[in-house]
Structure formats: C-alpha cells, structure tokens
Chains A and B, each alone.
Chain A
Amino acid sequence: MSEITMIEAIRQAMTQEMERDSRVLILGEDVGRNGGVFRATDGLIDQFGEERVMDTPLAESAIIGTAVGMSLNGLRPIAEIQFLGFIYEAMDQVANQAARVRFRSTGRYHVPMVIRSPYGGGVRTPELHSDSLEALFSHTPGLKVVMPSNPYDAKGLLIAAIRDEDPVLFFEPMKLYRSTKQEVPDQLYEIPIGKAKVVREGNQATIVSWGPCVPMLEKLVDQYKKEGAHLELIDLRTVAPIDAETILESVEKTERLMIVHEAVKTNGIGAEVAALVSEKGVFSLSAPILRITGFDTPYPVGTIEDDWLPNEKRIKDAIQQLLSY
C-alpha cells in the first residue's frame, strides 16, 4: 500500500499493465517526452521506449483510428485524448468504428482498446477543455464508459478497462487528479466495470453521482449526518453500463432520489437513471426525482463556472426539497 494521488494511480496502472503484457502500448499527443500534459505518462517513454509510448502527430481521428487498427491485429492500445472536448474530432472512429466492429463482424473481430481523457470543470481552463461528454458515448451501443472519482477506484478500473475485450472510454476528472491522496495497493487488482459503489449508507434519500462531484457530496452527506439526516450516496463509477440493481435497491429503502452530474441536464445520464427508476422502481418513490446538473448552455468561461456547476447551495436546496416530502 502507498498513499498516492489519482494521477499517480493511473500512471501505476498503466506501468504495471505494460510490464505484465507486451501487447499494451500508449499513443497520444505529448504522452512521450513530455509525459502527458498532466504527467499521466511521465517517465513511461524512458521505461518502455518510443515504440510503446508514441508521441503522435496532432490528429485525434488518426489516434483513435490507428488504435482501432492496432486492436484489430492483436495489440491492446491505450489512446489518450488530451482533453475530452477534443474527442469530437475522432467521433467517427469512436462511435462508428470502434463501437461497431464486434457487431459488424458478428464477433469475428473486436477492439480491446482504452481511450483515456481528462474532463470536468472547476479548474479555470480555456474554452472546450472542461466539457463532460459521457452521455454522447453511453448513447452509443458497443462502448463502455468508466468515470472514477478517487485514486483507488481509478487504478482498479483502469486495469479492468485495459483487460476488457471491448472499447472502454475512461474519463478522468482533472479537478481530482491531485486533490487528495489515498491508500492504494501496490499490486495489480481489478474493480469490475459496471458495478456502482455505495459510498455512504443512509435511509432518507439516495444521491447518485460519479466522477468530480463525488468528493463534494461525501462531505455534504457527512455534514447532514451530524445534523441527523441520513443520506445514501452512490458512486456509479461506470455510466455505461449503469448498475441499475444498486440504484433500485437503494431507492426502495430511501424512497427519494436525486442525481448530480456536471454534464448539461437535457438527455444526460441523470435522465437515464431517472427513467430506469421510473420503469422499475416508481412505486418505491415518495418524492419527485431531482436532477442537479450543469445548465443547458455550452460550458461557460472561468468567471461564471462556479455558478454554472452543481454547487453546494443548489444541492442543499434540492436535499431540503426531497426531505420535505
């Protein structure tokens, strides 16, 4: 065990998987000599060489398309998209190509690749660097979407993603890269993709979230507990597929549900979670389902982003509302 940050956990997962399996390699912009703009791949070029840690020309569609080809022919690439907002450049290769190979070839081919990318707000980035785009990909059959919220999960989930036989999008909340340290096992371990985690137990209301909002919600839930309100907090960890069972079990107990995410509201993952509960758990509910999310505008400039993101005030107001039923 050692106390490490999320960025270190991610680097450790890649390093150890590359040591274990010579088919694993990394490609992306500035991942080699520079070690990635967030240093996720720092030092890897020295350990594994340029053939396995590839500083690519600046072209996202080429990065993903090449990774698709590599995985069609026996390699297990980890492609980095420098910021998630830039993945639009590669949308065809992700959504039409990587996602559909298994289906189109009825299983003759498949693409065991990972696409890593930082995302999320609160760090005053320039335009187009903070968008949360998970819903786009969860709306694309054939893709898995993993979104860790802490170092321990990040390592175990990334290892599982690298070993997965299907394309996995692995989105990393950049706000949490270095915000905290956590005890993480030194050896390799997997956390199953598609399993949520109940991070705080309670019986009065359920809050479902993932990625960058989780640490803030943990603090809030602890605060409420001191004041005598017991909230259950579920970290989805994977947004495609969604762990419906864990959510439904919780809602059966608490009868109240709120979903918190940074992505814009309309047609977000929150809507999918609400629909699942409406279909399969509506008779457990004693209050309307609430969503606290980014607003339906493009991600805004730094001077107003704190008022745009789901913030404490909005979440507390919503909890008050839920508990009033």
Chain B
Amino acid sequence: MFREEDLTFERVERLNEDGVLLHDKKVVSDEQVLEMYQWMLKARLLDEKLLRMQRQGRIGTYAPYSGQEAAQIGSVFALEKSDWICPSYREHAGNMVHGMPLEQIILYAKGHLHGGRVPEDVNILPVQIIIAAQTLHAVGTAYAQKYRGEKHVSVSYFGDGATSQGDFHEALNFASVYQVPAIFFCQNNQYAISVPVEKQMASKSIAQKAVAYGMPGVQVDGNDVLAVYEVMKEAVERARNGEGPTLIEAVTYRLGPHTTSDDPTKYRSKENVEPWREVKDPLRRVRLYLENSNLWDVEKEKAFVQTFQDELDHMIDEIESKEKEFPKVEEAFEYVYQEKNAQLEEQQAEARRIREEGDWHE
C-alpha cells in the first residue's frame, strides 16, 4: 500500500526572514542577488502603480501579484532567453524579467487591442485566463523543442487552484509519458479567489502530486528568491539534459485582493495577512542581506525608486497621450483568420461605417 504518511516532506530554504544565509553553499554571486532585488523592487513598484491606476479608472480589472515577486523572479533568473514561458494572468513580474516590455504590460491592462501581442523575440505566450490551460501548452512547446533537438525548456506558471483542473493532471501525465523538457511551476499563494488551499485539496502538499506522475516534485519557500532560483536551476538542468519534467511548488502569499473586483475581507482576516506583509515579505529579506553585505542602503533604494518611478510615469504619460489613437473596432477583424472570409469583410465595413458615422458614445 502507498500512504501519504510514507512521503517525506522538505521545504527548500536558503535565506531566512532576517536575511541570513542558511547554507555556505551559495549558487549565485552577490551581483546577481543585487540584480534580482532590483527587479523585485521594480516589479513591486509596477504592481502598486497599476493598482492605483485601476482605482482611478485608468486601467481595467487588474490582478496584483505583490508578495509573489521572489517566486516569479527567482525562477525566471534560472532561464535562458530562448526558453518558453506559458503564464497565467498574475505573472507580470516574471514576464518582465524574461523580456516582456513594460509598455506591453500597460497596454494589456488598458484593454488595448495589441495587449496580447508579445514581441517576436520573446518566448512568452499571451496572458492565460482559463485556469490551467497553459500547463498543456508547456507540454506541447517542450515536445516541439525535443523533436527539433533544441535544448530549450518550457515553463508553465499557475496557481494552487489550477491544480484542481483536469488540464493540470493531464499535462503532468503527458509530460512524464513523453519525458519532455517542461517545468510546472506552481505559485501556491494560499488562495484561489476566496477558497483556501486546505479546501482546494485534501493532500498535504502540491509538490507530492508529482509522485503520482513519476516525476520529481519539489517544495520551496516561494518568498525566498535564492531558494527558488536554486530549485528552478536544478529542474532546468534536468530538463535540458533530457531527464524530463519537474513539478515545483513555491509556497508564497498573495498580499492584495485576487483582482481589483475582489474584497478579501470576506474570506481572510487582517491577522492572517499581517505577517506576510511584514517579516515574510519576499523583498525584505533580500534587502536585509544586501544591506548587511554593504551592497545596498536607504539612499540607494531611494534613488532607485525615484528613477524607476519617473521612467514608469513618463511611459504611462506617453501611452495615455495616445489613447485616442488606440486601434479601432475594424482592426479586430484582421486577426480572426489568416484571410478574412466574405462575411467578415462585410461586417468589417459595417463596423467601420457605424463607428465613423456614430457619435453615440462620445
């Protein structure tokens, strides 16, 4: 008989909440730690900015990722530019590091027709709304890599809720049957909208689900950027060497609401959130480490924040000054098929005429 009790549980940790390294073995240089921290800080500032903009009616519904920066950025740091990312909707921090331009993130948030258009040289799939659908796309893109004999890997990012979907289980099974270079990176942020992870599943961890599919499963402190980097690096190396897929569970916490339409006070208490906002915050421990190593201080932080905020504000001003020139409805007809059929041609002309003649929504 197989029993859950027989499994051993270990959560990989490298940097404790006081910013102290738990092991001598350091797999990244201090320069890399600094670089990771700066990305995390940028990501936090972007998230806060977008949240404010939503409250001011300047962007649509928004899903904030604050609290999950270490999980996203630590893992993307272990990738090469040519590797593939199949993200959900809460992944701007990681996407940014993998080459998604900030402008693109803002256009998406603004409901611009080109919001889902990823630059040609960036291997990130469009934001996925359907929970867990992208886990299968990681299997397919990885299969294509293996088929062509390329050494790239595919990573799918998803949440704890996604592990309840059939797609997730089918993806793990396919990936291990075909031994493709895919990594399933779960950010267990404890909630799927209002449903806590204890109600999402009766199993003790998400990582253990890998066992059923005959692949390695790893649980890591998702707020510890160094630990995340390290487990991801190992998984990527295995995948590149043809040793198959890995499931990683990064235990983290969503600090904000599920989206700007959500009221988290309905399902979790302030006491529940507080520690995650303070001692467990993923930025805090890296900052402490860097300060203790004399690589960072209050002044540097201030200057960095100012520079990035100026850059961001400038970029947003640029975009907002051109809102009147955003693509119009008729352009949407261009992206349904390679070639428009007769009905689409006719409807496109009608849509243009109505828009040009109508001042009904001015």
A32 to B195: give the CA distance in the assembly, Å. Answer: 9
Interface residue B200 (Cβ < 8 Å from any Cβ of A): yes
Q: Is the CB of B129 within 8 A of A126?
A: yes
B293 sits at the interface (CB 8 A): no
Surface stretch bound by A, among B219-227, B304-312, B349-357: B349-357
Neighbour of B112 across the interface among A32, A37, A265, A301, CB < 8 A: A301
Complex Cα spacing A297 to B330, Å: 10
A-B CB contact pairs (8 Å), 6 listed: A34-B266, A57-B164, A59-B164, A295-B332, A312-B360, A317-B354
Evaluate whether A128 and B113 lie within 8 angstroms (CB atoms) in the complex, with A61-B166, A306-B361 already known.
no
Could you tell me the distance in whole angstroms from the C-beta of A158 to the nearest C-beta in chain B? 23
A265 to B348 alpha-carbon distance, docked (Å): 13
Residues of chain B at interface, number, CB under 8 A = 49
Asked if A307 and B89 sit within 8 Å, CB to CB, the answer is no
Q: Quick check: A57 and B344 within 8 Å, CB to CB?
A: no
B336 interface residue per 8 A CB criterion: yes
Q: Do B164 and A58 touch across chains, with their CB atoms under 8 A apart?
A: yes
Rounded to whole angstroms, the CA-CA distance of A29 and B162 in the bound complex is 12
Tell whether, in the assembled complex, residue B193 and residue A307 are in contact, meaning their CB atoms are under 8 Å apart.
no
Compute how far the CA of A61 lies from the CA of B348 in the bound complex, rounded to whole angstroms. 36
What's the Cα separation between A33 and B200 when bound, in Å? 13
Bound complex: CA A29 to CA B200 (Å):
10
Tell me, in angstroms, the Cα distance from A57 to B348 when the chains sit together.
42
User: Which residues of chain A are near B28, meaning CB under 8 Å?
Assistant: none
Q: Report A289-303 residues with CB < 8 Å from chain B CB.
A: 295-298, 300-303
Determine chain A's interface SS by DSSP, over half rule: loop
Q: Is B287 part of the contact surface with A, judged by Cβ < 8 Å?
A: no
**Least Cβ distance of A120 to chain B in Å?**
15
Asked if A280 CB lies within 8 Å of chain B CBs, one says no
Asked if B276 is at the interface (CB within 8 A of a chain A CB), the reply is no
B61 touches A124 (CB 8 A): yes
Contact with B along A53-70 (1 / 0, CB 8 A): 001011101100000000
B13-21, B141-149, B321-329 - interface stretch:
B321-329
Residues of B281-309 at the interface with A, using a CB-CB cut-off of 8 Å, are: none
The verdict on B82 contacting chain A, using a C-beta distance below 8 Å, is no
Distance from A274 Cβ to chain B, minimum over Cβ atoms (Å): 15
Is B161's CB within 8 Å of the partner chain A?
yes
Q: Tell whether B316 is near chain A: CB-to-CB under 8 Å.
A: no
A127 interfacial contact with B, CB 8 Å: yes
Q: Does A89 lie within 8 Å of B358, measured CB to CB?
A: no
Distance in Å from the Cβ of B88 to the closest Cβ of chain A? 12
Which chain B residues lie closer than 8 Å to A189 at the CB level? Answer: none
Give the distance to chain B from A299, nearest Cβ to Cβ, in Å. 10
Contact A33 B357 (CB under 8 A): no
A125 beta carbon closer than 8 Å to chain B: yes
User: CA separation between A264 and B200, bound complex, in Å?
Assistant: 35
Within the assembled complex, what's the spacing in Å between the Cα atoms of A105 and B108? 49
With A37-B193, A57-B201, A296-B344: A124-B351 Cβ-Cβ less than 8 Å:
no
Shortest A147–chain B CB gap in Å is 23
Instruction: A265-B347, A296-B343, A298-B336 are known; give 12 further A-B pairs, CB within 8 A.
Output: A29-B193, A30-B193, A33-B194, A58-B192, A59-B165, A300-B113, A303-B113, A307-B361, A308-B332, A311-B360, A312-B360, A313-B358
Q: Which residue of A lies closest to B358 (CB)?
A: A313
Interface on A for B, CB 8 Å cutoff?
A: 29-30, 32-35, 37, 55, 57-59, 61-62, 85-86, 88-89, 124-129, 265-266, 295-298, 300-304, 306-308, 311-314, 317
In the complex, which of the residues A129, A307, A312 has the most CB atoms of chain B within 10 Å of its own CB atom?
Answer: A307
Q: Mark B112-149, 1 if CB is under 8 A from A, else 0.
A: 11011000000000010111000000000000000000
Q: Which of B110, B130, B193, B361 contacts A86 (CB 8 A)?
A: B130
Pairwise interchain contact A303-B336, C-beta atoms closer than 8 A: no
B111 close to A (CB within 8 Å): yes
Complex Cα distance, B267 from A33, in Å, reads: 6
Residue from the set B115, B350, B358, B361 with the largest chain A CB neighbour count within 10 Å: B358
Residues of chain A within 8 A of B213, CB atoms compared:
none
Contact present for A311 and B347 (CB under 8 Å): no
Q: Contact at B111–A37, with CB atoms within 8 Å?
A: no
Most buried by B among A29, A86, A88: A29
Residues of A contacting B116 in the complex (Cβ-Cβ under 8 angstroms): 127
List chain B residues, Cβ under 8 A from A61: 166
Q: Is B333 an interface residue (CB 8 A)?
A: yes
Chain A residues with Cβ under 8 A from B166's Cβ? 59, 61-62, 89
B89 touches A57 (CB 8 A): no
A39 and B115 CA atoms in complex are apart in Å by 30
Residues in B neighbouring A311, C-beta threshold 8 A: 354, 358, 360-361
- Give complex CA distance A4, B357 in Å: 38
Q: Nearest CB to that of B63 among chain A residues?
A: A126
Q: Is the CB of B61 within 8 A of A126?
A: yes
User: For the complex, what is the distance from the CA of A314 to the CA of B355, rounded to whole Å?
Assistant: 9
Given the complex of chains A and B, what is the CA–CA distance between A29 and B343 in angstroms?
Answer: 38
The smallest beta-carbon distance between B197 and chain A, in angstroms, is 10
What is the chain A residue whose CB lies nearest that of B353? A317
Contacts of A266 in B (CB 8 A): 343
A127 to B193, CA, bound (A): 17
